[in-house]
Every structure is written in structure tokens, then in C-alpha cells.
With several copies, the nearest count.
Chain A
Amino acid sequence: MKRIRKAGKEEIQPLFRRFRIVFHFCAVLPFLIFTCSLFCAQPVLIGSKKFTESYVLGEIAKRTLNEAGIPAEHRQGMGGTIILWEALRGGQIDIYLEYTGTIAQEILKTERQLSVQEIRDALTKTGVGMTEPLGFNNTYALVMRRNEAQRLGIRTIGDLRKHPELKIGLTHEFLDRRDGWRPLRQRYSLPQLNIIGIDHALGYAALANGSIDVKDAYSTDAKIAENDLVSLVDDFDFFPKYDAVFLFRTSLRDDAIAGLHGLAGTLDEARMIRLNAEAERTKNYTTAANLYFQNAVGSTVTTGESFWQKLARWTLRHLELAGFSLLLSVMTGIPLGIVASRGGATGNMILGFAGVMQTVPSLALLALLVPLPFFGISVRTAITALFLYGLLPIVRNTASGLQDIPRSLRESAIALGLAPAARLWRIYLPMASRSILSGIKTSAVINIGTATLAALIGAGGYGEPILSGLNLNDHVTILEGAIPAALLALVVQWSFDLLDRILIPKGLRL
């Protein structure tokens, strides 16, 4: 082998080596996949529920860990309580923010008010740890216009008794709940009769224009600050406690746990309201989270991730997704295409399989992969799906390229006595290179397009802005993802065109 390598100034060598490289990859494929899954599993994964406060606290936890030198990722808005809890139990995430009241009722399924210690003891049995409360209680509250409350001298819920004329607008949920309006009215003997059910968002408008005077709200709702409202003190402690805490897997690395504990007691309602307001104003959770650090540490003023930083992050992730899956497609597709080029039943089966993969709608494919044990909600799943989508063009073009080699040249190669493998390496594959590369290019572009769907399972990339844009019906945000994706496709095409010059032998381009 050494000798051959020395003879490298001849043109056959580079060619040979180029293709050899690709196939060496083939051999290390299992190793690569393993590395990837290690790599993908390594950062601490923080989940959040689908509402502002949960997002913001997720970002705070992420930055706290990052500042402690612990790589962490934040999977935003994964779902509701049960989904997050199961994800935590199943190890798909390591940390998420929860409220003590919710833990007691929905997770531990008890009617009693539990103390923090009781909750912690119960959770520990299931392998989940809990921090001390962060400092704010996000429960129901009754709110009023600040000036009105001052004018009437109302500070507590009990004070409402003196003003039976006040119009009260309540959400249907609050009207219905076991810990809602009816028992509250009883507990405080409230005299108001003028009660209407009203949508939560509309309620704020009604409150502002005076159609109603009192409404229910979450105690840390950003709207309280925005609309200059005041929440009435629950002097009988009627509402259950919903203290915010972080839940984490007890198997989490110690330094990460320590970091989380450090957050306990650092956020009161007023501050949380401000952070929520900031998040809703800027539509940027990172900015809001940074506000926390700014005030807490008095340290450098870091603004939230700028557009360019986000773009860089999306691009890297997108490249990672599309690139890695393309690599897999190439390494699998070319050998399959070689087999398929021989025709026959096996060939038809291979082309059939690759075709069927291409047919399964991306949504359905993701839906089918996610429940499987190895996959789940992970980058692995996204890469696997993309890999399957990228297969067909490569397999088919490899096959048709090989079949298009003139018979006289195929026979020359045979007559020379070249071993079948050498024939493939040195003659057939280089001669089919144009067709194969054309398949790879198609596949690359398809992968870049489909990778935008990876955001559906939280794998990131340009799909992130596209999806939130679609949700918010905000065209600018869609374009923030769509334009870079299109540009990336162009860049990839052009770089492949350069690759053409290297990989398609000069003798074929005369």
C-alpha cells in the first residue's frame, strides 16, 4: 500500500483515494452514530410548558447552568403538565419548572394542601428532586384597577364585602373550579350578584373600559403590571399555594443541581410580573431572562440573543441535521444503488423501499418514529427521518449512472482482469460520478428543505422561526427561517458545483 501511495502524482491515485475516503466512512458508520448519540445526549435538557412564564424560567435555568460551565439546552413549549412530567420521568428532559399546587393535585393527586417538605418526600421516591420555592406564588387572584381600588379603599378580598355594587367578570374556568368562585364567595360571604362569565383576554379590556370592576387572574400575569391593576390580598388564605419550583432528575450532575438550588428565593411576584411583561413586550424570552441576571447580579448588561446570534445557532443546527443525514444517505445510498444497478428482484426491492420512504409524509414519519424506544423526541429521530428522505435520489442516480456506462468500457474493465471491487472503485464509480453527484445534490437540497420540519420535535434549525411564524401568523418570522433556508440551499448547490470539478474526472468533462 505504501508504494501505491508514493505513486500519488499520477492522476488515478487521487481519484481512487477520494472515493476510498467515502467508503472508509462506511466502515466507521456505527461508531459515528454512537458518537452522535452520546453527543446529542450530553447537554442538560430543560423543558418548559407552553406559556410565557415557563419559557422565561427555562431560559433562566439554562443561562444559570451555562454560566456554571454546564452545557444546557432548552426545549421550549413541549406541552402541558402531564407531558413534561412524563418526559422528566422518562429521561427525555432533566429539568422543568412546576408549581407546588399543581404537583399536589395533578401529579400526587391529593386534595390536601401539602407542605413543601411533604411534596419533596413524595417526589424523591420517584427519582425526582425539587428545589426550594423560587419566591413567587402563581395562584389565582382577584384584580382591580389600581385607582379604583385606592378610591374605594379596597386592599383585600374581604374588603369587597363593603361594595356589593361592583361588577365582577370571571373566566368560565374560574366559575367552574372546585377552588373557584363559588367556594370563594362562600368563604368571604361576598354579596355581589352582578357576575358575568367572560373570556380571560377580553376581561382585561372590559376591566379597562369599566364594564367590569373585578376579575380573576394569575398572580404573576404580566397584564397586571401592564394595565396598572392591583391584586387583592387573599387574607383568608383561600387560594392554594402555587409556589414555583424546579423539578429535576436526581441523577442529574451535582453541579447542575447546585445551580438550580441557587435560584431558590430570588424571584418575588413583582419581579416575575416584570419579567413576564418584558417577554411579552419583546417577544424574546432570552431578553426577559437576561433581565433577571442583570438585576440579580448587577453584572454586565447582556441583551438577549441578537437576530444574528439566533441565525448562527439555527444555521449550525440546520447544517448539523442536514449534513449528518446527508452523510448517512450517501454512505448507505451509494452501496444500495450499486446493488440496485444490477436489476433483478433485489434491485427492485431496494428502489421500492427507498421510494416508499419518500412517500411517507414527513409528519406521519415523525409521528411514527417518536414512540419508538431508541428515537423519542430527539435529534436522532430528526436525522433518521431526513436520512430516509434523502435516500431515493442517491440510490436511483447511482443505479442509472452505472447502467449508462457503455458496454465496451465495462468489458474492457472485465477483460483487464480487475477484481470486481477494483472495477467499481477505479472504473465504474468514477465514470458514473456525474450522475451520482447529481443525485447527492438533489438529496442535499431535499434534506435542507425537510430539516425545517425537525423543529416540530424540538430539534431546532430554521424550522424554529418558520413554525413560530406559522403559529403567530407572522410572515416576517416565517421569512426569518425561510430565506436563510433558501440561501443555504443555493450555497450548498454552488459548493457542490465546485465539488463537481474535483470529483468528476477531467476526462469526462472534455
Chain B
Amino acid sequence: MNALVQLVAVTKRYADAPALHPTNLSIERGKTTVLIGPSGCGKSTLLRIIIRLIAPDSGTIDFDGSQITAANIDILRHRIGYVIQEGGLFPHLTARANILLMARHLEKSDEEMRTRLSELCELTRFPENLLARYPLELSGGQRQRVSLMRALMLSPELLLLDEPLGALDPLVRASLQKDLKEIFARLRQTTLLVTHDLAEAAYFGDEIVLMNEGRVVQQGSIIDLRERPANPFVSEFINAQRSLAVL
């Protein structure tokens, strides 16, 4: 089997409405899978289920061949990097302490941490002198980059990115996209990326998963989606993005 993560018939409903209808999804090793879809279609829910911030109502999730359960999740989490949509930076820790939190906990060497940190700052174009600031002292885009660094710090096997570049300016964003894509390819990094930007999806996505109202509507390459849309919603969604590109 080549899938790192395998979701089988996973469902979830909140008090008043289903958020995820029975969903199957496999995240291939070494590839970047992009999750797109309208706001509220269940993308974040899916990520939260994989890292088990919420438990699925039914269905199973396998990670690297073994089923994820409440018992083994804490260890598995060390192998997963997760960037939460809202940032989720701890206000009582500086940017540096936020990023190094887990590395320290796992008692990495100072040397190793320092090197990795510089690497990451360079990658995300984050000025090193801002590392001593608290989250409340950073701008929105700066915070987002700190979150990203925190997730990348331990070079996790699986990266779950929930709109990691949403608040970035085009300059940083363009180069970050380029670098990330390169790194992902070089390290054969398995990534599940949520974005609302079809261009970004097309750029990163070896495989694109389009969701709507709690269901996977179509899965395939961007070409598949554009040229062989499974239903009218797919073409509508793709064309909307196109119409944005006024420039």
C-alpha cells in the first residue's frame, strides 16, 4: 500500500447538521494532496478528525498501516505537523518559544534547534529579530508564518496545513510557494493542504480533492477537474476562480 493515511467511511455530525457524509480518502506517500471547496464544506473538520481533535462518529482512519485510536494518537501526533486556521499561537510564549516548544520537549540538541530555526526563518522570510516577540506583537502575516514554522520544525512525516498562506502578501507568498514546493518534492513530503485558492491548489496539488457540503465531489489532477468535471458544481467552482484573475 502506498497511502500514508487512509480514511474509510468516515462520518461526523455536529449537534444540528452533518458535517461529513461517509467519506473515503487516501493520502499518498510523498505527494501533496490539496483539499479545496466552498467555505463550510468540511475541510477543517476533515483535518481535525485526522489529528483527532474530534473523534469521527463512524469509520476508520489508518496512519502508516495501523489504525488511529485514542491510545496511540499522542505518539502519532509527533509525526504530524498541523497548522491551525486561526494560528493557535500560545500568547504566553514568544515566537521562538512557540516554534521550539516540541523540540525542547523532545530534548533536541541546542545546535540542531538553532540550525533548523534559521533554516525556517529563511524559508518563510521571517526576520529573525522578531523571534523574541510575543504573538500579540506580530502582524497577521507574521503570525501565520510562525505557525507554519512551528509545524515544520520537527520535519514531520505528514503535514496538515489549513490555509497556511491566507494572510501572506503576494511577494512572500510567491517565493514561499516556490520554496515549499521544491522542499516537498525533494523530501518527498506527504502533505494535506487546505486552500481556497485554486491557483495555489493547481500549483501544489499532485492530487486535488474537491469537497462540497461534507462530500468529496471529485478527486484528480487539475486537468481532470477542468476537463472532465464530475458535475456542474465542479466547473462552476473552477470558473469562479478564473474570473478572479482580472489582472
Contact = CB atoms under 8 A, between A and B. Distances in A.
Nearest to A508: B92
Interface string B200-239: 0000000000000000000000000000000000000000
B101 A507 contact: no
Nearest to B103: A7
Interface stretch (B19-27, B56-64, B81-89, B169-177): B81-89
The majority secondary structure among interface residues of chain A is helix
Interface stretch (A325-333, A374-382, A404-412): A404-412
Contact of B53 (A4, A415, A431, A506): A415
A11 B84 contact: no
Contact of B107 (A3, A427, A433, A508): A3
B130 interface: no
Contacts of A407: 136
Interface string B68-100: 000000111110101010101111111011001
A369 interface: no
Nearest to A2: B107
B134 A416 contact: no
B112 to A, nearest CB: 10
Contact of A416 (B76, B96, B102, B107): B102
B193 to A, nearest CB: 16
A10 interface: yes
A15 interface: yes
B168 interface: no
B122 interface: no
Contact of B100 (A12, A408, A413): A12
Contacts of B89: 412
Contacts of B136: 407, 507, 510
A411 B53 contact: yes
Contacts of B48: 411
A422 interface: yes
A412 B105 CA distance: 15
Contacts of A108: none
B88 A408 contact: yes
Interface residues of B, number: 35
B135 to A, nearest CB: 7
Interface in A390-428: 406-409, 411-420, 422, 426-427
A24 interface: no
Contact of B104 (A12, A414, A430): A12
Contacts of A426: 101, 105
Contact of B92 (A3, A422, A505): A505
A6 interface: yes
Interface in A113-139: none
Contacts of B75: 417
Contacts of A411: 48, 53, 84, 88
A510 B51 contact: no
A121 B77 CA distance: 78
Given A3-B110, A4-B104, A430-B92, A415 B51 contact: yes
Contacts of B100: 10, 12
B137 interface: yes
Nearest to B102: A416
B90 A431 contact: yes
Contact of B90 (A4, A10, A409): A409
A414 B53 contact: yes
B75 to A, nearest CB: 7
A508 B134 CA distance: 9
A510 B92 contact: no
A1 B94 CA distance: 22
B109 interface: yes
Nearest to B137: A510
Contacts of A10: 94, 96-97, 100, 104
Contacts of B86: 408
Nearest to A419: B74
Given A408-B88, A507-B94, A415 B77 contact: yes
B77 A417 contact: yes
B77 A416 contact: yes
A507 B104 contact: no
Nearest to B77: A417
Contact of A507 (B51, B88, B107, B135): B135
B177 to A, nearest CB: 24
Given A412-B90, A417-B76, A419-B74, 5 more contacts: A7-B113, A11-B94, A411-B88, A414-B77, A505-B92
Closest 4 A/B residue pairs (Cβ)? A417-B77, A412-B88, A505-B92, A507-B134
12 contacts: A1-B107, A3-B109, A12-B104, A408-B86, A415-B88, A416-B82, A420-B74, A426-B101, A427-B90, A433-B92, A505-B91, A510-B136
Interface of B: 48, 51, 53, 74-78, 80, 82, 84, 86, 88-94, 96-97, 100-102, 104-105, 107, 109-110, 113, 134-137, 150
